[in-house]
Amino acid sequence: MRDTQTPIATSESPQLCGVLAEFETVDALLAAARRVREAGFARWDAHAPFPVHGLDEAMGIRRTRLPWIVLACGLMGVLVGLGLQWWTNAVDYPFLISGKPLFSWPANVPVIFELGVLFAAMGAFLGMLVLNRLPEWYHPVLTSERFRRATSDRFFIVIDADDPRFDRRGTSELLESVGGAVELLEA
């Protein structure tokens, strides 16, 4: 998956790490995202206080492989649940309870189910964080005063300085031409 989040090495002199443009409406953001994508940028991102529908298509984000990770984790939970009960009650410590068989899968269903769900849920949570490279407590955009509204009511597009098509003036002009209020991000 393409990613825009490369940590930037801190040096003494401020270093340009990207251009940020602020938009006031969802419509402006969608239009700008389409333009940025058409212009061929690869290392860029859009930021919004909530998931904007239609933006995935406008940005060309491919569907995540998270569901497969969750499925794998769930199946692992099922196997762990089955193996745990079989090993502990039928092999390591054969447990005779009112003449019932040592290993009978119907009695093991609740624990298998619970562990399957538990592993899958943890897979969804941790998988989402890992694929998103979170937690990442430092990021250049978080230094911008203006960007603080990205979690409230404003929409942003950020183009990274290390994008091959990035140039200081041209990129800023592109973002201005689509109606963004532009700011240079330095770190």
* Separation between Cα atoms, residue 158 and residue 23, nearest integer Å: 11
User: Would you count residue 180 as binding other proteins (CB under 8 A)?
Assistant: no
Q: Please select the residue that binds other proteins; options are 16, 55, 78, 182, rule is CB under 8 A.
A: 55
Q: How many CA atoms lie within 13 A of 143 on its CB side?
A: 14
Beta carbon of residue 173, minimum distance to other proteins (angstroms, whole number): 23
Beta carbon of residue 159, minimum distance to other proteins (angstroms, whole number): 13
Beta carbon of residue 134, minimum distance to other proteins (angstroms, whole number): 5
Q: Give how many residues touch other proteins by CB under 8 A.
A: 78
Q: What is the 3-state secondary structure (H, E, C) of the chain?
A: CCCCCCCCCCCCCCCEEEEEEEECCHHHHHHHHHHHHHCCCCCEEEECCCCCCCHHHHHCCCCCCHHHHHHHHHHHHHHHHHHHHHHHHHHHCCCCCCCCCCCCHHHHHHHHHHHHHHHHHHHHHHHHHHHCCCCCCCCHHHHCCHHHHHHCCCEEEEEECCCCCCCHHHHHHHHHHCCCEEEEEEC
Q: Please select the residue that binds other proteins; options are 16, 39, 61, 79, rule is CB under 8 A.
A: 61
Measured N-to-C along each axis, helices 26-38 and 168-177 cross at an angle, to the nearest 10 degrees, of: 140
User: Would you count residue 26 as binding other proteins (CB under 8 A)?
Assistant: yes
Window 118-147: contact mask with other proteins (x via CB under 8 A): x-xxx-xx-xxx-xx-xxxxxx-xx----x
Q: Please select the residue that binds other proteins; options are 47, 160, 171, 183, rule is CB under 8 A.
A: 47
Q: Please select the residue that binds other proteins; options are 14, 49, 83, 170, rule is CB under 8 A.
A: 49
Beta carbon of residue 171, minimum distance to other proteins (angstroms, whole number): 18
Beta carbon of residue 153, minimum distance to other proteins (angstroms, whole number): 4
Contacts (CB under 8 A) with other proteins, residues 63-122: 63-64, 66-67, 70, 74, 84-85, 88-89, 92-93, 95, 97, 100, 104, 107-108, 110-111, 113-115, 117-118, 120-122
* Structural contact between residues 163 and 43, judged by C-beta atoms closer than 8 angstroms: yes
Q: Please select the residue that binds other proteins; options are 10, 11, 13, 152, rule is CB under 8 A.
A: 152
